[in-house]
Amino acid sequence: MAELSIRTRNAAAGLAWVRAGMRLFARRPLVIVVLVALGPMLIWSLGLVPIVGTPFALILVPAISIGMLSVCRTVDEGAMPGLASYTAALRDPVARLRLLKIGVYYALVVGALVTAMSFLPDGSSAPSGTSPPPGASGPAETSPAPSGGPVPEVPDLALTPTRLVLFLASLVIWVPLQMTVWFAPALVAWHQMPARKALFFSFFACWRNRAPMLVYLLALLGLVFLAVIALAALIGALNAKETFAQYLLAPLPLLLLAITQTSTLAMYRDVVDDGSNLRRIAADEQEPSAPA
């Protein structure tokens, strides 16, 4: 295994990663979208299996993650990706076992977080000592609709102090969890790093590059915002019906997922230095664009 080191990049690198990811995505957009979408579809399908489906899907998240990155790397190398890209990292039994360990760790932490949150109050109940408004006989009843049927109960979406504390507490656990698994599958599959070491390496790589990663996330959110605004303007100009508008918006999450994966590959190559990808992003930024 080659000696690896972590590069610390400035905040502007976050935008460079997104630009590099979009350039890579533009090479084979349809192929990348279709193949990358297979990962979430597999997780969703496994989640439908009662009892064991969701834990098993969480365990497979690292393996599916490296599969999606392998698709992007194949395109970057100038080859045509296929279904074999998803299983390339699983052919090595050592890497397969390490990915399984990372998946078990991920599933245990997510399961513990969800279980803990389910036992906490959601802050939606009325404070003690208060009485229902006049004419209300209880929280479970609904007012009759003009047509005679019951009016569906409107969910309470108010931001209460309890809900704010729960949200912040979940972030305290969720963000470090994502930091530990962000680069770990690639470190295990591509650099034969042990699972525990890969988790620590990934965490500190994200921590040392927290500024560009924040810019990276904000840039992705900006892309989503611009895409929604553009589609909304198009829908308004065409005076499209609701069904047609839904068809226009449906591919947006898949496009964002594909660009996220291609830009994550660019991020990985820029942050993780194995001696073979020195300043790849910086070099890409300096090269003039090839003519269409």
How confident is the model at residue 148, as a pLDDT?
Answer: 52
DSSP label at residue 90:
G
Per-residue model confidence as pLDDT tens digits over 115-173: 877 776 654 443 444 444 444 444 444 445 445 555 555 555 566 777 777 778 778 88
Residue 177 has pLDDT above 70, yes or no: yes
Please report which confidence band the pLDDT of residue 108 belongs to, taking 50, 70 and 90 as the band edges. Answer: very high
Q: Which of 15, 19, 13, 21 is nearest to 71 (CA)?
A: 21
CA distances, 16 to each of 10, 168, 216, 280 (Å): 10, 30, 9, 11
Residue 6: its H or E element = strand 5-6
Per-residue model confidence as pLDDT tens digits over 32-74: 999 999 988 999 999 899 988 999 999 999 999 999 999 999 9
Helices (H) and strands (E) in the chain, counts: 13, 2
Residue 285 has pLDDT above 60, yes or no: no
> What span, in angstroms and rounded, lies between the C-alpha atoms of 184 and 98?
10
